[in-house]
Structure 1
């Protein structure tokens, strides 16, 4: 019985199958651990993005409130809001949702600020000021509506991100 070639073939087959089962179980265990790690990493990434966006939206609330109360210049507020809104990680399409804010920003973003502005000739500064004031005047009513909506949107998003 033990000298039969079939016996050795069967024993060899059982050993090979056992080794393959062991290897398959080992691979499945590694895959499960890797999947858990990936899910945890994704969850950690989402938490970090939510924290980032919550911080940005808090700044948006402050600026929008200041603009509503006319404590912040329209052009400066739109500039700051546009930059902040563009840096959000979990929100998209805000330029379409608040078009007047982004429209004014796009009309003034080429204008130099701080030291670069000081280096301009007086007539060039006046020309840029006139261009900015004209854009502000044309868009101010729409911007006020956008700011009210943005203020509410930012507060709601903060609530969603922190809950």
Structure 2
């Protein structure tokens, strides 16, 4: 009878050891999956940062061109608005730069390229007049936004550069 209990005890200890080993393997797998998930999230964030850095470099270039009057305000606001709207790590740019987005909103439905060529002379003149009125109305707000945008873009590029070198 003592041998019977001894075998049961050994069997119980064996089962506990097997379960402990299995639990240890599962914990190790969970830790590896968590590490892989963190690495994937870091890679995703790095990709978003690289995307935004390219966008912000373009925005800064256009902003400088507009400040130096090498780019028309209507074209610059159009391009900047589209670029800022494509940022992945920043949002609500339309509420930060009301002048730029305001001019964009005023002209975004105007015909361009081939569609403009299809307009009659009267329709082109009407759109040109509306564009000039919008430019005149929004000029001071756009100039003010350009200074803010230059500072904002420079700060964001510095932040992204610091994040890139830290990882």
Relative to the length of structure 2, the TM-score reads: 0.92
Q: Which residue in 2 is equivalent to 1:35?
A: 34
Cα-to-partner distance string for 1:121-145 (whole Å, 9 max, x where unaligned): 1111111111111111111100100
Unaligned runs of at least 5 residues, structure 2: 163-167
Shift of 1:8: 3.1
1:22 is matched with 21
CA shift for structure 1 position 11: 2.2
Superposed, which structure 2 residues align to 1:1-163 within 5 Å?
Answer: 3-4=3-4, 6-163=5-162
**SS of corresponding position for 2:136:** helix
Distance 2:28 2:11 in 1: 26
- Which structure 1 residue ranges, 5 or more long, are not aligned? none
2:165 is aligned to none
Q: How many Å apart are 1:156 and its aligned residue?
A: 1.2
- Whole-angstrom CA distance in 2 between matches of 1:11 and 1:91: 62
After superposition, what is the alpha-carbon deviation per residue over 1:11-69, rounded to whole angstroms, capped at 9, x for unaligned?
22212211211111011111111111111111111111111111111111110011111
Root mean square deviation of aligned Cα: 1.2
Number of equivalenced pairs: 162
